[in-house]
Amino acid sequence: EPEVTQTPSHQVTQMGQEVILRCVPISNHLYFYWYRQILGQKVEFLVSFYNNEISEKSEIFDDQFSVERPDGSNFTLKIRSTKLEDSAMYFCASSQISGANVLTFGAGSRLTVL
Amino acid sequence: KNEVEQSPQNLTAQEGEFITINCSYSVGISALHWLQQHPGGGIVSLFMLSSGKKKHGRLIATINIQEKHSSLHITASHPRDSAVYICAVRRGAQKLVFGQGTRLTINP
């Protein structure tokens, strides 16, 4: 069964460092998403991406965050200067059509900022 | 007040019991998702509903748009059903708003 693949599974970084989280969505999917889940809290929407541009973003997704699809297969989330409160599990997801369709999630990337 | 409220927050039951998890939302939506989060953290999409009822194996999901309420039922529950079940509603074009989850434990 097709999977969404995320790397790394766990990253530890120092406050102020840049982090890039990578995702390989399912090949025939057109919509891509990033979500985050701070430990013990609910999942939160960060951003959706379609046709090489952001289609929607939340208030969490400020100037410190950016997304990119650099090579037609990878979908990346960059955090420019990490803060302690960025520590969370970050989930990538993709769907074949818009968000009304079933989402396929990756296993998540755990980010720990020290 | 949260836009999406789930109840109960925690549910423990014996194997074989019929399980119901409820989700109420306070805003207009275009679709509602039920998700399962495993103890390791991975999330699996179970259902996407915009009206009526859907069934997949032992899982049944219903939604009442007028009452802004959805339920997830599990028949003949099994210990492998133990997980966190999350309701999420679609607002806007793509944005999902998530409930806090219901932690289900099925004892053998």
- Chain B positions in Cβ-Cβ contact with residue A110 (cut-off 8 Å): 41
**If DSSP codes are grouped into helix, strand and coil, which group holds residue B11?**
strand
- Judged by CB atoms closer than 8 Å, whether chains meet at A99 and B93 is answered as yes
B25, two tokens: 């939302």
Residues of chain A with pLDDT under 70: 98-100
Beta pairing class for B83-91 and B31-37: antiparallel
Please give the sequence-ordered ranges of beta strands (E in DSSP) within A1-114, or none if there are none.
5-7, 10-13, 19-24, 31-37, 44-50, 53-57, 65-68, 75-79, 88-95, 104-105, 109-113
- Are B45 and B98 in contact, with CB atoms under 8 Å apart? no
A56, two tokens: 């929607």
Mean confidence (pLDDT) of chain B: 93
Q: Please tell me the predicted confidence (pLDDT) of residue A53.
A: 92
**If DSSP codes are grouped into helix, strand and coil, which group holds residue A84?**
helix
pLDDT tens, B10-32? 999 999 999 999 999 998 888 99
Q: Which of B45, B95, B97 faces A105 most closely, judged by CB atoms? A: B45
pLDDT tens, B44-73? 999 999 999 999 999 999 999 999 999 999
Handedness of CA B104, B85, A59, A14 (dihedral sign): positive
**If DSSP codes are grouped into helix, strand and coil, which group holds residue B81?**
helix
Q: Please tell me the predicted confidence (pLDDT) of residue B39.
A: 83
- Judged by CB atoms closer than 8 Å, whether chains meet at B95 and A108 is answered as no
- Judged by CB atoms closer than 8 Å, whether chains meet at A107 and B95 is answered as no
Distance from C-alpha of B35 to C-alpha of B104, rounded to nearest angstrom: 13
Q: Please tell me the predicted confidence (pLDDT) of residue B1.
A: 66
Handedness of CA A28, A34, A37, A42 (dihedral sign): negative
- Judged by CB atoms closer than 8 Å, whether chains meet at A99 and B90 is answered as yes
Q: Please tell me the predicted confidence (pLDDT) of residue B66.
A: 92
pLDDT over 70 (residue B34): yes
Mean confidence (pLDDT) of chain A: 92
From its phi and psi, is residue A70 left (phi > 0), alpha (psi between -120 and 50) or beta? alpha
Beta pairing class for B83-91 and A31-37: unpaired
Which of A42, A46, A53, A90 is the best mutation test for B, with the most CBs of B within 10 A? A42
pLDDT over 90 (residue B94): no
Q: How far is CA A2 from each of CA A33, B52, B103, rounded to the nearest angstrom?
A: 17, 28, 27
Cβ burial of B13 (10 Å; 0-12, 13-18, 19+) is middle
